[in-house]
Structure 1
Amino acid sequence: MGVMTSGGVTGAASGAIWGRSEQQDFRSRVRGTLLGAALGDALGAPLDGLALDSIHEAYGADGLTELASAYGRRGAITDLTQLTLFTVDGLIRAQVRRDTGAWHPPTDLHRAYRRWRATQSDWGPDERRKEDGWLAREEWLYVRRDPALACLLGLGDETMGTLEAPKNPGEAGAEAAARSGPFGLLVGWEPQLVMQLAVECAAQTHGHPTGYLAAGAYAVIVHGLARGESLDAAVQRALAMLAARPGHQQVAEALQRALGAVRQGIPSPARVADLAGAGTAEGLLSVAVYCALVGEDVRHGLSLSVNHGGPSAATGALTGGLLGALHGETALPPAWLAELEGRPTMLVLADDFAMEMTQGPALHGPAGSSPGWLTRYPRA
């Protein structure tokens, strides 16, 4: 539950009592969301910038159906996964800071995204900055994987974009949506708060309503899936919530197109390309919902989502996040997971997130705190 003021997200608390089976299911969905998004990102990375004819020429009539080499290795992730990991880090840090009374999650997320921005310019971690926490000291993250200019510019200074004064007000790309799955894992929050937080944080880099509302809708859909709802029901809730938002029409129409396309026969790359449109956020969100609905399994859904002439890594990441939240970790292809770059880091981060959301008071509540936890996720 939580409250909303005119200033945005101000408070939320789950109040939930977690049994063991509920904790295990939640952890599986958290892992599934992060790993699924990363797998989709890695699957699509070699295809970014390729026309469909070029994809077929390189990979055959069925397109790419297995991990292929990008950035010098199979299973390489892009900036989309990097930013998703820092979203998780920022959410954990926000929860830890609640005990201080100085709680404003968009600010904590902005600080996390600024830590990602440093990985794109620094040679490596600065061990002297203890306030950065453990994720920013992971050396493998200090690589540039074609980061979106909107993210570099939006996070290039200390000024945080807001809905009243967003960064890059003309930017409607899907990068903000692709990093927003973790907001949906705040299962103890009301859906309205999940959407508001995702929208506010998206406006830090993507200031066009289509860009930030696609992020909010995606977070709400993941939220429904993480709570055990069907994908169709989660999309319907997102549509109902979008209706109250100025500038929502493009995103809402794209989601309706995805639902309608399910009834139009056998899935095909042509239908995916039609849904993707110009490659902006609403089209790629539409592709993700469609592929998650019609995919026979995770492998098929992901393969369908990346074989088109648009931003394949983004559609793969969005689709993978939905499928992972829907089915959990065990539905993901083991052979792909074995080659996924950064998987050990993702597993630790996912489990830390699940522990914070279910056991947070025992880690840093008024009754006592774990020094090790506060070293990993400093309040500063």
Structure 2
Amino acid sequence: MTGVDQDQVLGSIMAGAVGDALGGPVEFLSIEQIRQEFGAAGATDFVDEYGGRGRVTDDTQMTLFTMEGLVRASVGRRRGGGDLRSTVQHAYQRWLHTQGVAWERARGKFDQAAAADGWLVQCAELHARRAPGNTVLGALTAFASGAPSPSPTRPANDSKGCGAVMRSAPVALWADSTAEVFSSAAELGALTHGHPSGYLSAGALAVIVHQILRGADLLAAVDVARAELSGWPDYGETDQALVAAVRVAAEGRPAPETIESRLGGGWVGEEALAIGVCAALVSRDLADGLLLAVNHSGDSDSTGSICGNILGARDGIHAIPHRWLAELELRDVTKRLTLDLLTELGPNPPDTTEWHERYPAW
């Protein structure tokens, strides 16, 4: 991994979490309900949800376990193994354990450890159910019960829900090659979502973030993602969603009703990606983009997270309002894991006992 700025990487991951926390309380509300509860401008700040302000949802939880899987896969790769897909699969099984599933059931037949290992799964704050998607729970439970690890050519289901794209931004760091970033994110997305628009949208977001971290503007990054998309079967739906996002943004700042009528609700992968991209394109600044991305009738936490991943990569962590960072749940955990991922994928990854205990290669 070369040519990335630490502040921009932190910005991408932390702003994604902020967008998630802003959108979580309004995720299941229509825009009419949002305005009725918060006023004409909609939600403009964190509100109490899940027992406090700034609480994140399963979007950020799974992003964290994706990052942990990337670190552990890299540790394994340096030791002569480290298959990315299987390592992240087992990271997701650890996340499943945090959702109230006994480890003996969550680990499946492929892990005989008496307890889940690594430091992340020990974080008490992660052991909370925050509206996890049924598709994700079903796919991970099936794997634990003995089903093979899914892939684009051996899908677990036909779901194109947004549960794959909303966790894919960290894969931007996995490789310098856009083709490898795209294919890696798509493979990891297919662990839970078997419809092409479910996992190809994950590949597209990872490439968009990858390009922005390397200096591209957002329109150019979208073009690169579309070029990568075109090499995959059944890419048209995701590609057309990106085309629509750019077209709507070119017409000016969209109203929430326009977002819904032109781009959808964000419940499926390509729609969530399109809303996040469109909001980022028309935003006045990072905060403005996040608020636009969450105030609509749809999957507000996921569209806020995706927009945050994009704008945070562009603007860096210092563009996130301090008041939001100060109240963000799992802020220190998210920062630590992001820095550890940068360290592991950097030029001088640690080779100490303490590091291998924190991130054992699976």
Quick one: distance in 2 between partners of 1:129 and 1:275?
A: 50
SS in 1 for 2:164: helix
Q: Please give the per-residue CA displacement for 1:5-40, whole angstroms capped at 9, x wherever unaligned.
A: xxxxxxxxx4x5xxxxx6xx6221221111111000
- Structure 2: tracts of 5 or more residues without a match: 108-112
Q: Deviations over 1:159-193 (max 9, x none)?
A: 3111121112x21111100000000123x420000
Matched with 1:374 is 356
Q: Which residue of 2 aligns with 1:208?
A: 195
Deviation per CA, 1:75-112, whole angstroms, max 9, x where unpaired?
Answer: 00000100000000000001100122223111111111
Matched, 1:177 2:159: no
Partner of 1:164: 153
Q: What corresponds to 1:55 in structure 2?
A: 34
Report the counterpart of residue 63 of structure 2 in structure 1: 84
How far, CA to CA, are the matches of 2:316 and 2:115 in structure 1?
34
**Are 2:45 and 1:66 aligned?**
yes
Q: Conserved in 1, the CA contact under 8 Å of 2:75 and 2:82?
A: no
Query: Quick one: which of 326, 334, 353 aligns to 2:341?
Result: 353
What is the root-mean-square deviation of aligned Cα atoms in Å? 1.9
2:178 corresponds to which residue?
191
Could you tell me which amino acid in structure 2 is paired with residue 225 of structure 1? I
1:8 maps to: none
Asked if structure 1 preserves the Cα contact closer than 8 Å seen for 2:12 and 2:311, the reply is yes
8 Å CA contact 2:82, 2:361 repeated in 1: no
Mapping 1:123-162, distance limit 5 Å: 132-156=117-141, 157-158=143-144, 159-162=148-151
| Greater strand proportion | 1
Separation (CA, whole Å) in 1 of partners of 2:114 and 2:324: 35
Q: Deviations over 1:51-71 (max 9, x none)?
A: 111100000001011111211
Shift of 1:227: 1.2
1:322 partnered with 2:307: no
Report if aligned partners of 1:185, 1:226 keep a CA contact under 8 Å in 2.
no
Aligned to 1:32: 11
- Once the two structures are TM-superposed, the CA of residue 123 in structure 1 deviates from its matched residue by 7.5
Aligned-residue sequence identity (percent) comes to 38
What are the Cα deviations for residues 104-158 of structure 1, in whole angstroms up to 9, with x where unaligned?
111111111111011112489x9x8576211111111001001000111111134
Q: List alignment gaps of at least 5 residues for structure 1.
A: 1-13, 17-21, 364-368
Asked if the contact 2:245/2:263 (under 8 Å) is kept, the reply is no
Letter in 2 for 1:49: F
Work out whether residues 252 and 282 of structure 2, in 8 Å CA contact, stay in contact via their aligned partners in 1: no
- Is contact 2:256-2:297 (8 Å) kept? no
Q: 1:120 to 1:130 in 2, by over 3 A?
A: closer
| Deviations, residues 189-228 of structure 1 (Å, cap 9, x unaligned) | 2000001011111111000011011111111101101112
Normalized against structure 1, the TM-score is what? Answer: 0.88
Contact residue 241 and residue 274 of structure 2 kept, 8 A: yes
3-state SS of paired residue (1:155): helix
| 1:26–1:354 Cα contact (<8 Å) kept | no
For 2:262 and 2:22, locate their aligned partners in 1 and report how far apart those are by CA, in whole Å. Answer: 19
Please name the residue that 2:219 is paired with.
Answer: 232
Q: Segments of 4+ in structure 1 off by > 3 A?
A: 128-131
Which amino acid in structure 2 is aligned with residue 164 of structure 1?
T
